Homo-oligomer: A and B are copies of this chain.
Amino acid sequence: MLHFDSDYMEGAHPEILKRLSEINFHKYSGYGTDAICESAREKIRGACGCPEATIHFLVGGTQTNATVIRGLLRPFQGVLAPDSGHISLHEAGAVEAGGHKVIAIGNRDGKLYAGDVREYLLGFYGDENHPHMVKPGMVYISHPTEYGTLYTRQELEELSKVCREYKIPLYLDGARLSYALAAKGTDVTLKVIAENCDVFYIGGTKTGAMMGEAVVFPRFVPEDFFTIVKQSGALMAKGWMLGVQFDVLFTEGLYLECGKNGIKTAGMLREGLRNMGYSFYIDSPTNQLFVVLENRKMEELKEEVSFSFWEALDKSHTVVRFATSWATQEDEVEKLLSFL
């Protein structure tokens, strides 16, 4: 059976396992106060060009989103997000459980545009009833988006501009950030993100780590954020288990290398599918491909390959998702193509 279901199906990059073995019986202080975490933070600060950044290591994506949002918002505030955003749809109400509304704005190709944010904010403050409404307190985007699409540097700058104008932080969910950074033609680097966002996270789970997301506050950090992390159940006792993974991933560019493998194998798959005449539901430059299959073909394929159902397109066609990852092998792609 071939597996193209998602990018979190394998364990960890072998370098991480090796390092874990080496340090296994060293004794570290808990809760991220150890030297390995500090080393990882310093490398991330370097990669992001923000030497003053505060960095926390959390375990997973939903947890990170819920914790960051709780840490930044006041009770009367909500978070603006594209209606296709992960926090809008697939986090089981974690943001609302923290007391905050996700204010969904229509997406275009999975993205939130500065113009739409501005229009919402103008409408909000122009409505004399706005003190009876949830106040927009931050903007959430994901990069790549849930459709695998990417913001351009200019789009990020425009979002940043409107956020600064209204004094609300811009938060970027980088669950799959390595695949964004490694995509062809992108002008969005870690430094660009750090310049334009007030907080973002660098996803480890989907890029070579067993688990772990590095939250970066380039310029400021919310008051007592450590306690917020603890209260949110997001503080690992053996914090260095997260730190060591990021320390390895940010040594000699491994994080980017992991991303490149996902991009390269997705590229092979994309080209193969195009050559065979398949059409794409959306044009994704990263490691998730959204392909239209005839239902009969899809059923046949299921016997050999596991992949994700995305949505029914019409009575006889379905959109499915194939995801590559940091660990996908070229021969797996070739085999998949041979079944199509």
Interface with B: A128-136, A272-280, A283-291, which one? A128-136
Q: With A23-B11, A234-B233, A237-B61 in contact, is A227–B96 under 8 Å at CB?
A: no
- Chain A residues near B (Cβ < 8 Å): 3, 5-6, 8-12, 14, 17, 20-21, 23-30, 59-64, 66-67, 70-71, 74-76, 78, 89-94, 96-102, 104, 128-129, 131-135, 205-206, 210-211, 223-224, 226-228, 230-238, 241, 309, 327
Chain B residues in 8 Å Cβ range of A228: 75-76
A208 to chain B, nearest CB (A): 11
Chain B residues in 8 Å Cβ range of A12: 20, 24
CB distance A5 to B29 under 8 Å? yes
CB distance B237 to A60 under 8 Å? yes
Chain B residues in 8 Å Cβ range of A237: 8, 60-61, 205-206, 211
Chain B residues in 8 Å Cβ range of A236: 59-60, 211
CB distance A231 to B93 under 8 Å? yes
A220 to chain B, nearest CB (A): 15
A298 to chain B, nearest CB (A): 14
CB distance B238 to A211 under 8 Å? yes
* B94, B210, B227: the one within 8 Å of A231 (CB): B94
> 7 shortest A-B CB distances, which residue pairs?
A63-B233, A11-B24, A92-B231, A93-B134, A9-B27, A76-B227, A92-B230
CB distance A227 to B17 under 8 Å? no
Nearest-neighbor residue (CB-CB) of A66 within chain B:
B233
Chain B residues in 8 Å Cβ range of A238: 8, 11, 205, 210-211
* B26, B89, B101, B234: the one within 8 Å of A102 (CB): B101
Provide the bound-state CA to CA distance between A5 and B128, in Å.
13
CB distance A93 to B66 under 8 Å? no
Chain B residues in 8 Å Cβ range of A205: 237-238
CB distance A24 to B14 under 8 Å? yes
A4 to chain B, nearest CB (A): 10
CB distance B223 to A74 under 8 Å? yes
Chain B residues in 8 Å Cβ range of A134: 92-93, 96
Provide the bound-state CA to CA distance between A10 and B26, in Å.
6
CB distance A94 to B232 under 8 Å? yes
Q: With A9-B30, A11-B241, A27-B9 in contact, is A100–B93 under 8 Å at CB?
A: yes
Provide the bound-state CA to CA distance between A60 and B238, in Å.
10
CB distance A17 to B14 under 8 Å? no
CB distance B29 to A91 under 8 Å? no
Provide the bound-state CA to CA distance between A37 and B19, in Å.
25
Q: With A27-B10, A28-B9 in contact, is A234–B63 under 8 Å at CB?
A: yes
Chain B residues in 8 Å Cβ range of A227: 76, 92, 131-132, 135
Nearest-neighbor residue (CB-CB) of A67 within chain B:
B233
CB distance A75 to B66 under 8 Å? no
